[in-house]
Amino acid sequence: MTLATPRARTGRITFFVALAVFAQESTWNLYDSQVPPLLREHLGSAALIGALMGMDNLLGIFIQPWMGNRSDGTRTAWGRRIPYLVVGMPVAAVLFVLIPHAAATLPLLILTMFGYALVANSFKPIAESLLPDFIAPERRSRANAAVKVASSITVIVAALISLFLIDDFPKLSFVIPAFLMLVSVAVLGWKVRDSRSPAYLAALEEDRAGDTGTASRVPMRQVLLDIVRDADRSRLLVILAVFAFGSAWFASRSLVTNYGMEALHLSRGDAGGVSLPSGVAFIAAAYPAALLAERFGRLRVILAGMVVFAAAMVLGTVLRTPAGTVVAFCVAAAGAAAFMVNMAVVLWNLAPSARVLGTYTGLYTVGWSSGGFAGPALVGGMVDVTGWPFMLLDVGAVTLVAVLLVARVGVLRRRRADRPAL
């Protein structure tokens, strides 16, 4: 019975971390799917629409690492993460509901998008940092798989809303994920106190060892210099790889509705539902991707997954039909699962101290958000040149850059005898 207790605790906190991520992703996925058509009513350029859709990721580049670093240095009876979540999530939910009401004019729509993105980005890395706070390094892939499954469920929710509600109830559709966010954060605030997490307790020990007598926060500048000056370069290359694959992923998601309408000649609702089966594929692949990573190594599994993702984009270009696109997105989602489940764990396990886990989560999201900003605009620009029928092929080309970066990380890690387990 004693041996089962730590596992039960791990499972319990994994559920609540998954709930926190579900709360935020329930709105982000509908945002990515249905805000581009709102912008398309005012704009004709795919590149400009992609740039505006990347605005939230541009904000994330600056906000997320700062908020992650700020939460690292927070000390309260509730811990260092939960206070930010119980304030930020309800505000983001309200702003999200206002988006379709602001769509009558372009300036008001952009302003509302900016407000939602600003608040939602503020707590995004904080929620995700709960996982390494509570879970030991060797079990983080499995726990992160559960979190990613929760995130994928929100993809299905967004697709179902697109299929059955968005055409007839465009404003009410935005209320549903916002309500899910409010319910989730209520449960999270009631049940979780991260002041009891192993990482928080370790951070307090480091504070006391530093003889400061107060809560200690490692300055962001110091963290960045440590990464940049490291002769190994592994951490820097990991962040760049996150940027490259994030570019490909966000481009495929942000532009898929318009791709379905322009290249496949589907209605707005049907085009938004193209990604529905891929959410199921991601769920099916997430936990096996974690198990394979523990057996064969995270970097190898990540590389294989990205190659599968790129190949699926080529397949989708060849099979340019609604059914062919659905199949391509399912295969791509299975490949992407290997990256999304394991890459954050790689960076967490490279962190030198429990006091900077939130900062490292923020740096991961800097790479991811930077890709989210650059990717839709970059691929949108390529679409302006090559046309919508070749959008998936453009996404595959961007993915190959990430493959090369991760391959280089693997070479560097094999050269070091003292390298930590990733």
Q: What is the DSSP letter of 209?
A: H
At 203 the three-state DSSP class reads helix
- As given in the structure block, the two tokens for residue 209 are 């060892």
Count of Cβ atoms closer than 10 Å to residue 321 Cβ = 11
Instruction: Read off φ and ψ for residue 347, nearest 5 degrees.
Output: -70, -40
137 lies in a domain?
yes
Exposure of 311 by Cβ count < 10 A (0-12 exposed, 13-18 middle, 19+ buried)?
Answer: middle
Per-residue pLDDT, 156 = 72
* Pair of tokens at residue 68: 């992650």
Q: Which residue has the tokens 């994030």?
A: 246
d(CA 179, CA 183): 6
Q: Which amino acid is at 202?
A: A
pLDDT score recorded for residue 9: 63
Say if 91 falls within a structural domain.
yes
Nearest-10 Cα torsion for 218, 219, 225, 227: 50
Residue 361 lies in a domain: yes
Contact between 189 and 23 (Cβ < 8 Å): no
Q: DSSP string spanning 267-317? A: -HHHHHTTTHHHHHHHHHHHHHHHHHHHHH-HHHHHHHHHHHHHHHHHHHH
Q: Taking a C-beta distance cutoff of 8 angstroms, is the pair 244, 405 a contact?
A: yes
| pLDDT given for residue 203 in this prediction | 81
- Which one-letter DSSP state was computed for residue 354? G
How far is it, in rounded angstroms, from Cα 125 to Cα 145? 17
Sequence-distant (≥ 6) Cβ neighbours of residue 249 within 8 angstroms: 336, 371, 372, 375
**Helix axis angle, 4-40 to 46-53, nearest 10°:** 140
Phi, psi (rounded to 5 degrees) for 352: -80, -10
34, part of any domain: yes
Give pLDDT, residue 8: 57
Assigned domain for 209 exists: yes
Q: What is the pLDDT of residue 255?
A: 85
Q: Report which DSSP code applies to 93.
A: H
Give the residues of the chain that fall short of pLDDT 70.
1-9, 155, 210-216, 416-422
Q: 336-355: string of b/e by CB count within 10 Å (b at 16+)?
A: bbbbbbbbbbbbbbbbeebb
Instruction: Look up residue 405 and give its amino acid.
Output: L
> CB atoms < 10 A from the CB of 176, how many?
19
- Check if the beta carbon of residue 246 is closer than 8 Å to that of residue 369: yes
Cα–Cα distance measured from residue 251 to residue 245, given in angstroms and rounded to the nearest whole number: 10
Domain that holds residue 38: 4-415
Cα–Cα distance between 327 and 276 in angstroms, integer?
Answer: 11
**Residue 347, domain CATH:** 1.20.1250.20
Residue 422 domain-assigned? no
Position 1 scores a pLDDT of: 36
Residues in contact with 1: Cβ distance below 8 Å, sequence separation at least 6, in sequence order: none
Q: Produce one character per residue of 263-286: b if its CB has 16 or more CB atoms within 10 Å, e if not.
A: bbebebbbbbbbbbbbbbbbbebb
Domain count, the chain: 1
pLDDT in tens, 172-226: 888 888 888 888 888 888 888 788 888 888 888 877 776 444 456 777 888 888 8
Per the structure block, which two tokens stand in for 49? Answer: 């629409």
Q: Within a domain: residue 363? A: yes
List Cβ neighbours of 281 (8 Å cut-off, separation of 6 or more). Answer: 329, 330, 331, 333, 334
Q: Is 44 buried (19+), middle (13-18) or exposed (0-12) by CB count in 10 A?
A: exposed
The whole-number pLDDT of residue 62 equals 85
* Structural contact between residues 251 and 50, judged by C-beta atoms closer than 8 angstroms: yes
Look up residue 247 and give its two tokens.
């570019």
**Would 406 be classed as within a structural domain?**
yes
